[in-house]
Amino acid sequence: MLRKDAKIELLKGVPLFSHCNKKQLASIAQLSDLVQVPPGTELMREGETGHEFLVFAEGTGEVRRKGRKIDTIGPGDFVGEMALLTGAPRNATVKTTSDATLLAVTSRAFGALLDEAPDIQKSVLKALAERLHPQTV
């Protein structure tokens, strides 16, 4: 079981939340769920619509694109953050390679939070703009 502060620390490492203050991160942490999964669990499949964002609190995973391994991920790494905003198809398949504890945020819960908290919306949009155009912001 992760403490609220541990959830905030995990979220702080996500570029999409880089402009969020501690209070804003606490709001996001509050709507997150801890999920424990065994090795070999497919967390997302390339080409499918995304509905959640995941941060690895513990454990490891493997990222594959077009069947080829492109990355290994572990604690502090995250996948699916763009699904929080776009619901776009996943650009990779991610499976766990060990027992894993994940912090999960659904796009529905996150969207409701953004509707209620324009300050968080503003912080996320600023981070997104920097990500899309790093030289101009």
Indicate whether 37 belongs to any domain: yes
Indicate whether 24 belongs to any domain: yes
136 pLDDT exceeds 60?
no
Mean pLDDT computed over every residue of the chain: 90
The structure's pTM equals 0.84
97 pLDDT exceeds 70?
yes
Indicate whether 10 belongs to any domain: yes
117 pLDDT exceeds 80?
yes
Residue 134's pLDDT is what?
Answer: 64
State CA 11 to chain mean position distance: 8
Residue 16's pLDDT is what?
Answer: 86
Indicate whether 57 belongs to any domain: yes
Other CB atoms within 10 Å distance of the CB of residue 22: 11
Indicate whether 137 belongs to any domain: no
The CATH number covering residue 81 comes to: 2.60.120.10
Indicate whether 136 belongs to any domain: no
Instruction: State how beta strands 93-96 and 42-44 pair.
Output: antiparallel
pLDDT-based confidence at residue 66 (cuts at 50, 70, 90)? very high
Indicate whether 78 belongs to any domain: yes
CA gap 120, 2 in Å, rounded: 23
Tally the domains of the chain: 1
Domain span at residue 119? 4-131
Indicate whether 19 belongs to any domain: yes
pLDDT-based confidence at residue 28 (cuts at 50, 70, 90)? very high
CA gap 59, 76 in Å, rounded: 10
